[in-house]
Amino acid sequence: MKILDIARDRVSIRNYKSSIKPPLSDVLYCLETANESPSGLNCQPWYFIIISSKDVKVKIRRLCESKEKEFHNKISRYFKDWLDERGITWRKPFLEYAPYLIIVLGNIKCPYFVQSTWLSIGYLLLACEEKGLSTLTYTPPNTYELSEVLDVPKGFKIEAIIPVGFKSEDRNKEPRIPLREKIFIDKWGMHMNLEK
133, 30 Cβ separation under 8 angstroms: yes
Asked if 41 is part of the footprint of a copy of itself (rule: CB under 8 A), the reply reads yes
Nearer to a copy of itself among residue 119 and residue 167 (C-beta)? 119
- Binding-site member from 18, 47, 80, 167 for a copy of itself (CB under 8 A): 47
Q: Which residues pair with 134 in a beta bridge?
A: 165
Asked if 26 is part of the footprint of a copy of itself (rule: CB under 8 A), the reply reads no
| Dihedral sign computed on CA atoms, order 91, 62, 116, 127 | negative
Binding mask 73-92 for a copy of itself (x = CB under 8 A): ------x--x----------
- Cα(27)–Cα(191) distance, integer angstroms: 41
Who contacts 148 (Cβ-Cβ below 8 Å, separation ≥6)?
none
Site for a copy of itself in 86-145 (CB under 8 A): 112, 114-116, 118-123, 125-127, 130, 137, 139
Nearer to a copy of itself among residue 170 and residue 186 (C-beta)? 186
User: What is the rounded (10 degree) CA torsion for 33, 35, 40, 43?
Assistant: -170
Grouping H, G, I as helix, E, B as strand and the rest as coil, residue 138 is strand
| Dihedral sign computed on CA atoms, order 15, 161, 21, 29 | positive
Nearer to a copy of itself among residue 65 and residue 105 (C-beta)? 105
Length, in residues, of the chain: 196
Using CB under 8 A, list all residues that contact a copy of itself. Answer: 2-4, 6-8, 10, 12, 28-29, 31-33, 35-38, 40-42, 44, 46-53, 56, 79, 82, 112, 114-116, 118-123, 125-127, 130, 137, 139, 149-153, 156, 159-160, 174, 176-177, 179, 182-189, 192, 194
